[in-house]
Amino acid sequence: MALIEFFLSHRAELAARLGEHVILVLASTAIAAAIGIPLGIVAARRPSLSRPIVAIANLAQTIPSLALFGFLIPLPLVGGIGTRTALVALTLYAVLPILRSTITGLQGVPASVIECAVAMGLTPRQVLSRVEWPLALPSIVSGLRVAVVIGVGTATIASAIGAGGLGDYIFRGLAMVDGTVILAGALPAALLAIAADAALALAGRAADPRRRRPAATGALVAIVMVVVTGAAWASRADPRHEIVVGSKNFTEQVVLGELLAQLIERETGIGVERRLNLGGTAIAHRAVLSGGIDLYVEYSGTALTAIFNQPPATGSDTVFREIRDRYAAVGLTALPRLGFNNTFAILVRRADAERHGLKTIGDLNRLRDWRAGFGYEFLERPDGFTGLAAAYGLRFANQPRVMDLNLIYRAVASKEIDVTAGDATSGLIDALDLVILEDDRHYFPVYDAVPVARATMLLRHPEVADVLRRFEGRISAAEMQRMNYAVDGEKRDPAQVARAFLDTIDRFYVQPR
């Protein structure tokens, strides 16, 4: 019921996301076919080439999708943020099944049939087009089916690099811990996969020479043309948006992204494109470096350690000055801090805290057999888990589990794990009845929210720089937590929450202009 309501209230957006998804999959499959089929033909003819070609395609297939996006973003031409990079990655994934099925199909043509074709005086090209191709076509179509079904699934991840698609709902739902929103992306994606598979099964049957092959070939050509047109349309730049605001993939980031986007739109009238829900610090940073986005909110401690590989530091001003200089060196501008410090918070269930008298992080050592789960970043970064364990002498019975950042709060509440490290401003802390253990040894460095922008964009739009500078210190930790809770706990739309916040502060914010 909630799902149907969601669909009804998000009709237009859903259609747009579905459209993006279909275009991503079809375009990447078409490009992969344009690469994989000729490559398969070459490989089937020269067995010595077949092995390395398949090995390379295999290798591309084994790279995890997020890692592949990470590799691609800094590359010229194929990289960046958005549809183009997603197309490249999806294409790489789709090549292998198409290549394989082409080779299998061609090698399955009986040698006696080819011998006769050659002996009858068909040129090599005619042998291919009149004999081998039609006989291999059913196998190639089955490879296309596999590629499309894989593509529908993988394209959901493309949302992480701002390519849109149904993954937007899945990631948003994960960030909001809202099953309805996840389903709103997952269900259409599943239906799309089933529909695409069925459609291609029909196409495969039409490709059967005993039915009407010319019609099927015509249909395939038509599909390819539609898809290529669609791809050209999808990859064209949207001229209405002069500034692109990004965000990482958790609620607070999405709210902040919306907030800055709306702020710029309200105060300057400049069109802002949103590339929210990018898949992590590295992707967001590479995106702003490469110009895929112009602006996003980073946290000073994260910038210092995770981006600039410096040891963690304390002191809000010290850290800010340090990262401002380092950002300036790579053409980025760290704008004045927004006002709140989103440091890590070590979280346990309120019931556990009361039963065992847990107040500080050090108190964790009173527990036996506790299970910890952390986001991937927390386990990796120098100011994360390792340092924390050393600072407090934490003893672990079990290796901490790696979990998606969006799932950790739920995992604690549902007793899958007992301890995690979340954001101090997370709205889920109250919503799920968790408590923050005090960092009495001041282990965690400061994580002041800092808008980071491309210097060239600020030079082009000094009015944007002005608006963002005047936004200094406007968001307190309590306000951020409330906005997060409005999204996570009350299931309100991030854009709406951001708008409501801007409405309240506009009263004393607007200045004569």
Partner 1 sequence: MPAVAFRDVSASRGGRSVLHDVSLTVGARETVALVGRSGSGKTTLLRLVNRLISPDAGQVMVDDQDVATWDPIVLRRRIGYVIQEAGLFPHMTVAGNIATVPILLNWDANRIRARVDELLSLVGLEPGQFRHRWPDELSGGERQRVGLARALAADPPLLLMDEPFGALDPITRGELHEEFVRVQSALHRAVILVTHDIGEAFQLADRVAVLHDGRIIAVGTRAELAASADPHVARLVGGPPSLRFGETG
The residues of the shown chain that bind partner 1, judged by CB under 8 A, are 110, 112-113, 115-123, 126, 130-131, 134-135, 209-210, 213
**51 to 39, 45, 98: CA distances (angstroms):** 12, 12, 15
Nearer to partner 1, 210 or 368 (CB): 210
What value, to the nearest 5°, has the Cα angle with vertex 139 and ends 135 and 145? Answer: 140
**SS3 label, residue 432:** coil
**SS3 label, residue 59:** helix
β-strand pairing of 295-299 with 449-454: antiparallel
Q: Which residues contact 421 (CB under 8 A, 6 or more apart)?
A: 344, 345, 346, 347, 374, 375, 378, 384, 385, 388, 408
Nearer to partner 1, 61 or 126 (CB): 126
Question: How far apart are CB 47 and partner 1 at their closest, in Å?
Answer: 15
Question: How far apart are CB 209 and partner 1 at their closest, in Å?
Answer: 4
Nearer to partner 1, 117 or 161 (CB): 117
Nearer to partner 1, 130 or 415 (CB): 130
Question: How far apart are CB 206 and partner 1 at their closest, in Å?
Answer: 14
Question: How far apart are CB 199 and partner 1 at their closest, in Å?
Answer: 23
Q: Residue 361: which region, alpha, beta or left (left: phi > 0; alpha: psi -120 to 50)?
A: alpha
Nearer to partner 1, 126 or 316 (CB): 126
Question: How far apart are CB 115 and partner 1 at their closest, in Å?
Answer: 6
**SS3 label, residue 422:** strand
Nearer to partner 1, 125 or 240 (CB): 125
Question: How far apart are CB 210 and partner 1 at their closest, in Å?
Answer: 7
* Contact between residue 245 and residue 275 where contact means Cβ atoms under 8 Å apart: yes
d(Cα 260, Cα 415) in Å, to the nearest integer? 36
Nearer to partner 1, 213 or 350 (CB): 213
Nearer to partner 1, 46 or 240 (CB): 46
Q: Which residues contact 194 (CB under 8 A, 6 or more apart)?
A: none
Q: What is the 3-state secondary structure (H, E, C) of 69-80?
A: HHHHCCCCCCCC
Size (the chain), residues: 513
b/e sequence 338-364, b meaning 16+ C-beta within 10 Å:
bbbbbbbbbbbbbebbeeeebeebbbb
Q: What is the 3-state secondary structure (H, E, C) of 492-508?
A: CCHHHHHHHHHHHHHHH
Nearer to partner 1, 118 or 187 (CB): 118
Of the CA atoms within 13 Å of residue 314, those in its CB half-sphere come to: 4
Nearer to partner 1, 131 or 227 (CB): 131
Question: How far apart are CB 488 and partner 1 at their closest, in Å?
Answer: 59
Question: How far apart are CB 195 and partner 1 at their closest, in Å?
Answer: 28
Nearer to partner 1, 39 or 117 (CB): 117
Question: How far apart are CB 41 and partner 1 at their closest, in Å?
Answer: 17
User: How big, in percent rounded to 5, are the helix, strand and coil portions of the chain?
Assistant: 65, 10, 25
**472 to 199, 476, 488: CA distances (angstroms):** 54, 11, 25
Nearer to partner 1, 46 or 210 (CB): 210
What value, to the nearest 5°, has the Cα angle with vertex 305 and ends 322 and 251? Answer: 105
d(Cα 81, Cα 271) in Å, to the nearest integer? 18
Nearer to partner 1, 210 or 355 (CB): 210
Q: How many CB atoms lie within 10 A of CB 398?
A: 11
Question: How far apart are CB 132 and partner 1 at their closest, in Å?
Answer: 10
For residue 501 the two structure tokens come to 């916040």
Question: How far apart are CB 142 and partner 1 at their closest, in Å?
Answer: 16
Question: How far apart are CB 131 and partner 1 at their closest, in Å?
Answer: 6
Question: How far apart are CB 109 and partner 1 at their closest, in Å?
Answer: 9
β-strand pairing of 420-423 with 344-349: antiparallel
